[in-house]
Structure 1
Amino acid sequence: MAEDEFDFANKIPPSFDHVGNVIKESGSKGFNPGLIVLLVVIGLLLTFLVGNFVLYTYAQKTLPPRKKKPVSKKKMKKERLRQGVSAPGE
């Protein structure tokens, strides 16, 4: 009887053998399509953000500062009166 107990020591039961084949087959399929789409979208987003940052820094270095609009005499007069300084010529 002792020999009969060890008869199955080197054999794999059929149910476990099938599970092993499924695991081997799923590993060799390649990337998940959802993962590929996710990587492409993240890559495009990063490219967009990095490109915007590079263009922004380039524009800051090369473009001259914007000129301010000239303030009208009427507005300057009102502002001076608000501050309590009399306008010249009055």
Structure 2
Amino acid sequence: MDDDKAFNNMDDAMKNAEAKGFNPGLIVALVVIGLVVVLLAGNVFLYMYAQKTLPPRKKKPVSKKKMKRERLKQGVSAPGE
């Protein structure tokens, strides 16, 4: 009889311990979601900081050949022709 009481007490203790503990899946999900939010917020912050501080990009110079082609499309003759 004492053995039955001991097993019942162990079962009750295990049930109570499970009820009080955190769900491991929930903890993992919260950590992953937290990391994703931190990374996204950091990227937004860095993008905004770069937009304010970096100089604008230099445009590539247009080649003479392209300029000539554009002028012919517009109907303006190129100088020297």
Give the TM-score range, shorter chain. 0.7 to 0.9
Query: Partner amino acid for 1:77?
Result: K
Determine what percentage of the aligned residue pairs are the same residue: 75
Deviations 1:39-80 (A, max 9, x none): 000001001100000000000000000000000101100111
* 2:80 match: secondary structure: coil
Gaps of 5+ in 2: 1-11
Pairing partner for 1:81 from 64, 72, 81: 72
Across the two proteins, how many residue pairs are aligned to each other? Answer: 68
Q: TM-score, normalised by structure 2?
A: 0.76
Q: Which residue of 2 aligns with 1:35?
A: 26
1:57 & 1:47 partners in 2: Cα distance?
Answer: 15
Deviation, structure 1 residue 27? 2.9
Higher helix share: 2
Bigger Rg, which one: 1
Pairing partner for 2:50 from 59, 62, 71: 59
Deviations 1:13-54 (A, max 9, x none): xxxxxxxx69x72432x2100000000000010011000000
The Cα RMSD (Å) is: 1.6
Q: TM-score, normalised by structure 1?
A: 0.69
1:53 & 1:45 partners in 2: Cα distance?
Answer: 12
The structure 1 segments of at least 4 consecutive aligned residues displaced by more than 6 Å after TM superposition are: none
Gaps of 5+ in 1: 1-20
